[in-house]
Amino acid sequence: MPATRHIGPADPYHVLVADDEPQILALFKEILAPDDDLELLPQAASGVSVPAAPPVPVYAVTACRQGEEAVAAVREGLKSGRRYAVAFLDVRMPPGRGGLWAAAEVRRLDPYVQIVVMTAFSDIDAEEMARRIPPADRLLYQQKPFHPQEIRQFAASLCSKWNSERDFLTLQTRLESIVAERTRELAEANERLTREIRERERVAELIAGAKREWEGTFDSVQDMVVIIDRDMTVKRLNMAMAHRLGLSPKEVVGRPASFVFDLPDSDGGLTRRLGALIDGRFHSLELALPRLHGEFLITASPIYLAEDEPLGTVFVAHDVTERKVLEKKLRQSQKMEAIGTLAGGIAHDFNNILGIVMGFSEMILDAAGNDENLLRRMEHILQACRRGKELVLQILTFSRQTEEESSTLRLSPLVKETLKLIRATLPHTVAIEERIAGGPDTVLAEPAQIQQIVMNLCSNAAHAMRETGGVLTVSLDAVHLPGPGLRAPGLPPGQYARLAVHDTGHGIPKDILERIFDPFFTTKKPGEGTGMGLSVVHGIVRKYRGEVKVKSQPGQGTSFEVYLPLSFLAAQAAEDDSRAAASGRGRILYVDDEESLAEIGAELLAGLGFQVTAETDPKRALERFRAEPGAFDVVVTDQTMPGLSGTDLSRELLAIRPDLPIVLVTGFSESLSKERVKALGIRDFLLKPVLRKDLAGAVSRALDAQS
């Protein structure tokens, strides 16, 4: 039966009457649709209070003299949206086919119409009628002659039942509170009808069937549902809740609410918090329930017997554990991205500062001569600057702002080589166990960054075992991930190399496990670490479209698993680019808006024998070049400058002289990469701070390529 609106007191019920006797038809109209309503129940005696009578139903009677007419009326009613609630059909209606044929056709057209078969005499008994016109719960048998009161009661009862069935179909997905209340109302209504029509057993069976259907619907809901009464006692629960508790519903009903919501050894805090929701209003909140093994969106809905008298509360727990895990990952990703953006933003200024210190330090070293104290002090300054440079590179790696040249390489030789270096730095109480499996291990990556992953993970593992000693296990194998799952959520299906580092140290407490990849977060003492190791590992792995997972239990050690997509291209051998840079020839235009950096660059290159012209204004440098395009062999320019960036300056210079070699220097730019720089026609690309040998090498390569 399609969902339709509820029939109200003023809306008529459509009743179909088919009888070959015109007097019977007139009698039905007089009984069901008289001009003046008749009282069905006696009035109370004076001074005696009786319950208010239910509203008298209104009927619209359609009269037919043949079974064929009745079937046609039902068919036409279905087309126009008019459904018949009850059909009173005489068995014998000559010369037509009769009431039994009409009942079967009406049932086929509208399975939900309530049919009453009427006859003064029939050779077909009631059981045979029920078999021919199923279902039996929508078929009644009435022997003629009948009393008008019986027809009234039949119509009222069957129309109420027909209307209740229609309401039930539209309400089957609602909570038990509404259905239970409706069941109670139906039970009371059916009890009254039973007393009136003396068919209490049949009505009770109808109610029992509706209850069984509701219970089936209630237990099929996948969310966990429990009803708590005003005494905080479990009144009812569905199968989803029972399965989560590992018990049958009978073992839970009657127990206190704390049995469902709190662990046995807890103080009942969760039950008290949920008990505060039993105030007759609707509530919802998200809450972790260890007893139910997850996090849930809990809604609390009151059940009312009457206004301001709640019988209890329906709690529905929707499992949001997986969603919360994804939300935590999203927040972590957003946090890492924000920190990466901040880290990249300060890299430019920090690199400029380092460049000034390193540049002047190198020039002081050149002029120091044999002053050992000065040489030693300057070497300390340069060493500190190099550490600062490495720290900036780690920050940029974490923020995914550096663009190294990636190539196909095999992991097993690289891991073994790195472990050889690590052995010399570990205390004798820490043993290394290698588990390098054979098989495919070729990935697309940069060798130094793979080594950095291994070094950082092993360094952290060794630190966790430095007091008690232990075993550091490093394994490498290939795995196939059929799809995202608990092992590595977010990774697409495919073949992956899995690098695992396990230690037997003290483990990581649960409360800080989510923060271990945060930059500068560390549990080490001052001077023992910067807190950048794991964040750099995270940045490198995510850059190569991989994933890093961690498992740890306090006192049981820690395991890190790094998943990198396998590449099935042949591994390339590393190129040796250690040749000495040529120097001492060429005219250079050096452009940097930092006056100190421009001075340093000019002096460093001039000290190598180059002829250098320094400019701090890119627009003035462009005008000088336009005036004499052939006066310079190479242009070295900074990227981030006010008024005209390095790439914009390069475009202008190349438009004047397309064969001009240009070297671009930058402290930070998230939009630049070697590929993009080369596409612009720029010969080389250097990251600040730049040492003299790196700058001289880039200039020499540009001159060699020009030659």
Please check whether residue 87 is in contact with residue 116, taking contact to mean a CB–CB distance below 8 angstroms: yes
Amino acid residing at 350:
F
* Token reading at 691: 């040492």
What is the residue type of 305? L
From residue 554, how far is each of 163, 506, 682 by CA, in Å? Answer: 63, 6, 53
Cβ atoms of 510 and 479 within 8 Å: the answer is no
Minimum mean pLDDT among 369-378, 549-558, 646-655, 664-673: which range? 664-673
Through-space distance between the first and last CA atoms of the chain, rounded to whole angstroms: 89
390-414 pLDDT, tens digit per residue, is 666 655 554 554 445 567 888 888 8
To which residue do tokens 């209070």 refer?
49
According to DSSP, the β-strands at 224-229 and 234-237 are antiparallel
pLDDT at 53: 54
Pairing type for strands 294-306 and 309-319 reads: antiparallel
pLDDT at 226: 87
Q: What is the pLDDT of residues 463-493, one digit of tens each?
A: 888 778 888 899 999 998 886 544 556 688 8
Q: Is 378 helix (H, G, I), strand (E, B) or coil?
A: helix
Whether the Cβ atoms of residue 112 and residue 165 lie closer than 8 Å to each other: yes
Distance of CA 693 to the CA centre of its chain: 51
Burial class (CB in 10 A: 0-12, 13-18, 19+), 406: middle
Residue 184 burial by Cβ neighbours in a 10 Å radius (0-12, 13-18, 19+): exposed
CA distances 83 to 87, 431, 527, Å, are 11, 84, 85
pLDDT for 247 equals 86
Instruction: Give the span between the Cα atoms of 472 and 461, in whole angstroms.
Output: 7
Helix, strand, or coil (residue 706): helix
Average per-residue pLDDT for the chain: 79
Read off the DSSP letter of residue 276.
T
User: If you average pLDDT over residues 417-437, what whole number do you get?
Assistant: 81
Stretch 89-95: mean pLDDT: 88
Helices and strands (H, E) in the chain, number of each type: 22, 22
Lowest mean pLDDT among 47-56, 141-150, 587-596, 630-639: 47-56
CA 540 – CA 398 distance, rounded (Å) = 7
pLDDT tens per residue, range 208-266:
888 788 778 878 888 888 888 888 888 888 888 888 888 888 888 888 888 888 888 88
Q: How confident is the model at residue 46 (pLDDT cuts 50, 70, 90)?
A: very low
Dihedral angle computed from the Cα positions of residues 10, 16, 19 and 20, in that order, rounded to the nearest 10 degrees: 100
**For residue range 551-588, what is the model confidence (pLDDT) as tens digits?**
888 888 888 999 999 987 755 444 433 334 445 578 89
State pLDDT tens for residues 506-542: 888 777 777 677 655 555 554 444 445 677 888 888 8
Three-class SS state of 305: strand
Contact 442, 480 (CB under 8 A): no
Angle made by CA atoms 586, 592, 593, in degrees to the nearest 5: 155
pLDDT > 90: percent of the chain: 14
pLDDT at 71 over 90: yes
* Structure confidence at residue 394 (pLDDT): 57
Q: Report phi then psi at 690, rounded to 5.
A: -105, 125
Residue 651 has pLDDT above 50, yes or no: yes
Residues 585-592, mean pLDDT to the nearest whole number = 88
With both helix axes pointing from N to C terminus, report the angle between 148-171 and 176-197 in degrees, rounded to the nearest 10. 170
Q: In this structure, how many other beta carbons lie within 10 angstroms of the beta carbon of residue 598?
A: 20
Burial of 367 from C-beta contacts in 10 A (0-12 / 13-18 / 19+) = exposed
- Name the band, by pLDDT with cuts 50, 70 and 90, for residue 359: confident
Q: Is the pLDDT reported for residue 377 higher than 80? A: no
E-state strands within 68-171: 84-90, 114-119, 139-143
CB contact at 8 A, 122 and 91: yes
pLDDT for residue 460: 81
pLDDT of residue 391: 61
Q: Which of 3-17, 86-100, 248-262, 683-697 has the lowest mean pLDDT?
A: 3-17
pLDDT cut 70: percent of the chain above it = 80
What 3-state class would DSSP assign to 574?
coil
- Please count the other Cβ atoms lying within 10 Å of the Cβ belonging to residue 104: 17
Q: What is the mean pLDDT of residues 601-628?
A: 88
Are the C-beta atoms of residues 218 and 242 closer than 8 Å to each other? no
The number of beta carbons lying within 10 Å of the beta carbon of residue 216 is 10
How many Å is the maximal CA-CA distance in the chain? 136
Q: What band does 198 get if pLDDT is binned at 50, 70 and 90?
A: confident
3-state secondary structure of 113: coil
| pLDDT of 526 | 44
> Tell me, what's the pLDDT at 529?
46
CB 445 within 8 A of CB 567: no
As a whole number, mean pLDDT of residues 199-206 equals 78
Answer yes or no: are the C-beta atoms of 583 and 611 closer than 8 Å: no
Q: Specify the pTM.
A: 0.37
Copy the structure tokens of residue 416.
Answer: 């073994």
Give yes or no for residue 41 having a pLDDT over 60.
no
Strands (E), 19-171: 58-64, 84-90, 114-119, 139-143
Residue with tokens 């969603």: 323
pLDDT for position 333: 67
The sign of the dihedral angle between the CA atoms of 26, 28, 34, 38 is positive
Rounded Cα distance between 314 and 175, Å, is 8
> Alpha-carbon distance 684 to 678, whole Å?
7
Average pLDDT over residues 194-208: 79
Q: Which tokens in the block code for residue 459?
A: 């360094």
User: How sure is the predictor about 64, in pLDDT bands with cuts at 50, 70 and 90?
Assistant: very high
Least confident among 178-187, 446-455, 494-503 = 178-187
CB atoms near residue 109 (< 10 Å): 14
Q: Tokens standing for 645?
A: 């960036």
Residue 5: which pLDDT band, with cuts at 50, 70 and 90? Answer: very low
Give the pairing type, strands 470-481 and 430-436: parallel
Q: Which residue has the tokens 């320019």?
A: 637
pLDDT at 19: 92
270-277: average pLDDT: 82
